[in-house]
A = this chain, B = another copy of it.
Amino acid sequence: MARLRVAVNGFGTIGKRVADAVARQSDLELVGVAKTRPGYEARRAVARGYPLYVAGSGSPEKFAAAGLPVAGRLADLLGKVDVVVDATPEDVGRENRALYEAANVRAVYQGGEEADVAEASFNALGNYDAGRGKRSLRVVSCNTTGIARAAAVLLRWGVERWDVTLVRRAADPAETKRGPINGIVPTLEMPSHHGPDVRTIFPDLPIATTAVVVPTTLMHVHVNHVRLARPPATAADVVATLRSTPRFVVFAPGEGVEGTPQVMEVARDRAGEGGRRSADMMENVLWERGIRLDGRDLYFFQAIHQESIVVPENVDAIRAMFDLAPSKDASIAATDRSLGIAHG
């Protein structure tokens, strides 16, 4: 069977991971990746054998001077594919939309874009079927993805209201220009944009989100309080349900995982086990001791790896758009198997 031809435009934090993930799918073909500058990430594309194209205002001469062979410009790449994953910086995706439409390729955008960049917003556990047949989708941002996955689980018990405090990492690990170095910066816009954003997936979700930014590069942590309509009997039921849901990991007491540093240590430890990509944690991460059920009130922490959590969602978005899988569950299972994503 011919594989669907995929391009990735933007090869930074998200783009390079999506490219790796696409390359591992049996029903997808990574035709090439596009980048504007010949830095270490472009070098990585070449090392992985991904045909490299020059995007935007990039100069092929600079790539040549850096010893990096290029296969053409973004427009050339777009001429060869069925769909492009846009992983360019915030707001650039919208600028690229005309290019993609002119080339008659479908497009998957990231959550840094406004919702109306695409026909629908997407989260695999949340609204896979809404993505079917669409010509464009937007995978919601890392924090919204984490919330949407949790919503997909919690809604079985009825959500009467949901408060989330997002304790956000200030920068990705290699973003050396961003602060703060020492301090906490509240996001004074209230509610934060995450609540409205998750309602692009679950329109009626009674959720209120508030955010602060803190000096760390590893992961976000969400502090949740959910009033359930029909709660399960015990917190252990919540734990069991989460452990049986794809893309959730719940650490047990005694494992020595106290915070996000140990979560990322485990992620590094697992690299190479079961096909997992190095250092990434594509699952929602919870702590068993950090899940408390008090009558109808459920409290829990979850940690979200901002660099990688949307990666499997991008793969599933493509499958939904082109109806490549018989069901949501089949798509998720295929993606997770190929990437070594766990649950448990």
Question: Which residues does A use to contact B, with CB under 8 Å?
Answer: 16, 37-41, 43-44, 47-48, 62, 65-66, 163, 165, 167, 169-171, 173-186, 188-191, 208, 210, 212-219, 221, 223, 225, 251, 254-262, 264-266, 268-273, 277-279, 287, 289-290, 292, 297, 299, 301, 303
Contacts and interface: CB of A to CB of B under 8 A. Distances in A.
B188 A290 contact: yes
Contacts of A65: 254
A186 B188 CA distance: 23
A179 B180 CA distance: 6
25 contacts: A40-B256, A40-B266, A163-B225, A165-B210, A171-B181, A173-B182, A173-B183, A173-B265, A174-B261, A175-B179, A176-B179, A180-B181, A180-B259, A182-B216, A183-B216, A183-B218, A184-B214, A184-B260, A190-B290, A208-B297, A212-B301, A213-B259, A271-B277, A278-B278, A278-B279
B270 A47 contact: yes
A74 B187 CA distance: 35
Which 3 residue pairs across A and B have the least CB separation, nearest first?
Answer: A39-B256, A278-B278, A185-B259
Contacts of A188: 258, 287, 289-290, 301
A167 B170 contact: no
A258 B182 contact: no
A110 B225 CA distance: 30
- Interface core residue of A43, A188, A271 (most chain B CB under 10 Å): A188
Contact of A216 (B215, B261, B268): B215
Contact of A176 (B16, B173, B262, B272): B262
Nearest to A20: B272
Contact of A173 (B165, B185, B257, B261): B261
